[in-house]
Amino acid sequence: MAPKKSTRTSGATSQRTWLHLRQQWGMMGMFEITPEHEFYHLTSMMKDGIHASIQATMDTPVQDTLSPEHFKAEETEAHEGFVMQTFAAPVFAKLRRSLDIKEEEYMNCLCSDGCYLQFVSNSKSKANFFVTNNKRFFLKTQSRREVRFLLSNLHAYMDHLEKYPHSLLVRFLGVHRIISNQIKKYFIVMQSVFYPDERINIRYDIKGCEVGRWTDPDTGEKHRIKVLKDNNFRGQCISLGQDKSWFASQVKLDAAFLRELNVLDYSLLLAHQPLHKEEIERKHTLANLVIRTTKSLDLGDHPTKTDPSSIPLLEETPGDVVPGNADLESDLPQAAFQGTDEGILLQETRTDLELQEFHKQHRRLLSDFKNAVHVIDGPDRRYFVGIIDIFTMYGWKKRLESLSKSLRYPGRSFSTVSPTKYSHRFCQWIQDHTQ
């Protein structure tokens, strides 16, 4: 009888845990998309279509060098009751590899038996937001114009990420379209900036302006994640310590790229959580720094010939020291730059300008997470950061809107301004609020 009692107890405990988890999701504005949910049919088609698309990628030889045809690729697969279009599949497959996301892992997250979660927030966007059951990947419906804009600038986007592998731009991992009798939807898959989110309880969306940039955290709206804004952040700062200069520099590089694309209205997603004591201690141990540094600088047997873009981020992700911090660099033993007991060969050819640039962009301490590029550890807090919403072009409609707002809000800062002004103001906000 004892074993049966144990089994019943275990089952009851599991049921309570699952109920508690669902209650937590509800409080955070996430709801399971069960068969009764309005988006169940759509998300079921997404899963089936993505599964077939990933399987096709797995059956295709790896493309180390991308051609113009890869960026223009469109694949159409017929399924029962719908058609799935996949765009630039080889390009996004290469991007996933650079993040050390295995195709099987990607498939398991997006196509598991677990229900997607609907994400409900106070965003003004008319898009639908979905999250995988483990909350690692984000799916968002997009307009045709937004998708065409992304695809037309995909080559430039990939070039930027290869040049600056620690860019704060959100990582787009796939672009698809569902077509059925009732539904015609474009959607994108991207990394969730806020992963893992177990201890995140406050989120911000920062644009660097003031008009319309306040969210009342106590409006009484239930089942919505409150994403606060610029004015809610007053009196606070992003405390990064040694990573401050790197962070401000990378924001400038990313904003300059977006300015070249003639876009505005992008945001910095920001969240934070306190570091545990053991995380702080582990972060500052010299031995750990040495190991993290050697992994970051591992360029193989022929470093001067290594293509920086071919090295997956997570082979480097344990990180490196911050650029320009001579004191910290001098504290590291020479072994950190010459090799380890595991036989890692680390050579630095300072006459090679490309290699110098590669090293410069990798001198950053990264956390041991699957989305480490979006995680920065300060002295006592862990920050989750990512630049999102990069699809708004400064066309004639935005120019008219800018003129209208300048008359309506004289002397005040609002979001609809030229890309040059937006970029400068965005970077200045980061500079002013980081220490």
Interacting residues of 260 by C-beta distance below 8 A, sequence separation 6+: 156
What are the angstrom distances between the C-alpha of 153 and each of 2, 8, 157, 190, 335? Answer: 64, 56, 6, 16, 42
Output the pLDDT for position 59: 87
Spell out, as residue ranges, where the chain has pLDDT lower than 70. Answer: 1-29, 121-125, 219-224, 281-368
* Cβ 314 vs Cβ 367: under 8 Å: no
Residue-level pLDDT at 380: 87
Among the listed residues 301, 283, 308, the one whose alpha carbon sits nearest the alpha carbon of residue 339? 301
Secondary-structure class of domain 193-294+367-434 per CATH: alpha beta
Helices 154-163, 89-98: axis angle to 10 degrees equals: 20
At 221 the pLDDT is 60
Nearest one of 135, 125, 151, 182 to 30, comparing CA atoms? 135
For residue 283, the model assigns a pLDDT of: 61
Could you tell me if 358 and 300 are in contact, meaning their C-beta atoms sit under 8 angstroms apart? no
Domains of the chain by residue range: 28-192, 193-294+367-434
Tokens (6 digits) for 353: 């300008």
Please report the pLDDT score of residue 76 as a whole number: 96
Counting beta carbons within 10 angstroms of the beta carbon of residue 329, is it exposed (0 to 12), middle (13 to 18) or buried (19 or more)? middle
- The answer to whether 28-192 and 193-294+367-434 have equal CATH topology is no
| pLDDT reported for residue 339 | 36
The predicted-structure confidence for 419-431, as pLDDT tens digits, reads as follows: 999 999 999 999 9
pLDDT digit string, tens, across residues 380-403: 899 999 999 999 999 999 999 889
Report angle CA 98, 107, 298 to the nearest 5 degrees: 20
Could you tell me the fold of the domain covering 28-192?
A: Phosphatidylinositol Phosphate Kinase II Beta (3.30.800)
